[in-house]
Amino acid sequence: MRSSSLLVFVRGVLLMAAVITVFFGLELAVDVMAGGYPLARALFFDVNDARHFNNLLNRSLNQLLGVVFTTVAIAVPLTANLYSLKFLEFFIQDRVNAAVLTLAVLTNLGNTWAGYALKANHIPVVALNVIFALSLVCFAVLLPYLYYVFRFLHPDTLLARLEHAHAVALRDALRRPGPRRAEAAADLEHIANIAVRAVERGDRNTAIDSVRTLERALRVYWAGKPGLPAAWFEADQNFFLGFSSAAVDDLTASRSWVEMKLFGQLQLITAASIGRMPEVTSAAAKALRKAGLEPAARSDPALRDLVTEYFNTLLRVALNRRDARAVFSILDQYRLFAEAINPEQPDLGLEIAYYFQYYGQVARETQLTFVAEAVAYDLGALVRAAWEAGAPNRSQLLERFLHYDDQARHPLKGVKKSQAILASYFLARALAEPAATIQAAWAGLEPGFVRQVRDELLFVKREKYWEVSERRMNIDYVPAAQREKLRAFFDSLAP
């Protein structure tokens, strides 16, 4: 966006300069020729002409200066206050802004200087003509520059510049790891601040773009991480003010302080968006899932654990807010992460299954019944994915799934539905043993309860949920090829 805005600015200046030169130049030539006035004499003045011309330039330049500086003085601080004070720093550092403002000031000052040099017996002809030419340049620049400023103040511009600054800090880390660490950490914080401010203002697109910027920044970091010096990985206590010194030392040992910092920003964004902007909550959870499945994270035990811990943290935040929709979105991404990582990391897969059971129990204790049932469906989907992938822990996952609701006095209908759906899958794949294991878990259930579960499952024939939701799919839906096996499962339960 930066190069695009600069290109539009340059083209605009050239176009305005061409229009001014051609239109007003031709107009002057026609007037001079029609009046029989020598064109060369137009460059010279007598004292009165010089004074009038100097005064005219003075008024015009003052107005131009007022327009430029008023726009900058109002628009830049206002936008910085809305999103991030980093806008001010980038605005000052931008060469186009510095060049245009300097041009306007120097042209105005030059005209004042020409007025000072103008005497009864001395006319600064060169100065007046130079100031006139610079004034034309200023007016040619005015409209393109205002466009450039407004484009500069777009939050996407700030995100792009922060992303670039983060990449520059990584490139320079070989020479100055200490200062560059602080800059990289600050850049991540600014990106998250933009997202939080955007959520507060209802600016969904900017908030989601901020999350995606963090994603790209993480990929750039991982691409260059192997070549960074050892000093870079020393975690600074100032980056993690709420953490103990032992926790910070652990980040140094695991070389994961940047990931911790970035995932922490995703947590802040999630906390700000829960209950206000569900799309941003989903985007943050998706970003965490995609990060966890990158090769750099999959091959690093510390990063795998960190991703898991942050998924648990996001779930805790959503549960504390009692926001079922947010929990549903986060669970979806957590399950996808677990399904992908489980075949190669079965111990982690079992650990995540335990967390599913734990947070499902928390949901039930806090009367979030839908969430408790949704966790069961996701846990069942994880078991199915493990069987399809031939994961070595598939039987253990099934056992965890069947004990999901053991502590409850009365089983939840959604939990039993998810078990029946999984049993029908096993029967459809001629996997009699795991299906029989599920059947045994239904022993002792009241026949009326079993019939109700069966009837509700068989009633659902629409694959998509009848309302628009994040997942779009009806979690009770059973494919047609599997429905007969579902009937067979319930028939096997008949006394």
CA 160 to chain centre: 11
Which two tokens mark 143? Answer: 């409209």
CA 59 to chain centre: 47
Match 């777009």 to its residue by tokens: 154
Among left, alpha and beta (phi > 0; psi -120 to 50; other), residue 176 is beta
Residue type at 383 in one-letter notation:
V
Span of 116-130, 137-151, 162-176, 379-393 with lowest mean pLDDT? 116-130
Percent of the chain with pLDDT over 70: 94
Q: What b/e readout covers 280-295, taking b as 16+ CB neighbours within 10 angstroms?
A: bbbbbbbbbbbbbebe
Q: What is the tens place of the pLDDT at every residue in 436-457? A: 999 988 888 888 888 898 888 8
Which two tokens mark 313? Answer: 């943290």
Q: Give the residue extent of every domain in the chain.
A: 2-153, 176-323
Residue type at 253 in one-letter notation:
A
The predicted model scores a pTM of 0.84
Q: What is the tens place of the pLDDT at every residue in 333-391? A: 999 999 999 999 999 999 999 999 999 999 998 889 989 999 999 999 999 999 999 99
Q: What is the mean pLDDT of residues 32-43?
A: 63
Q: Tell me the DSSP string of 143-160.
A: HHHHHHHHHHTSHHHHHH
Q: What is the tens place of the pLDDT at every residue in 165-214? A: 999 999 988 888 888 999 999 999 999 999 999 999 999 999 999 999 99
pLDDT at residue 445, as a whole number: 84
Please enumerate in sequence order all residues whose Cβ is within 8 A of that of 72, keeping only pairs 6 or more positions apart, or say none.
Answer: 91, 97, 101, 149
**Coil vs helix vs strand at 119:** strand
**Residue 433's pLDDT band (boundaries 50, 70, 90)?**
very high
Compute the C-alpha angle 43/44/49, nearest 5°. Answer: 115
> Rounded distance, CA 76 to CA 41, Å?
45
What residues does 464 pair with on adjacent strands?
A: 473
pLDDT at 462 over 60: yes
Q: Are 470 and 441 in contact (CB under 8 A)?
A: no
Which two tokens mark 489? Answer: 């499962």
pLDDT at residue 200, as a whole number: 93
Percent of the chain with pLDDT over 90: 50
Q: What is the tens place of the pLDDT at every residue in 52-92? A: 888 888 898 899 999 999 988 888 888 888 888 888 888 88
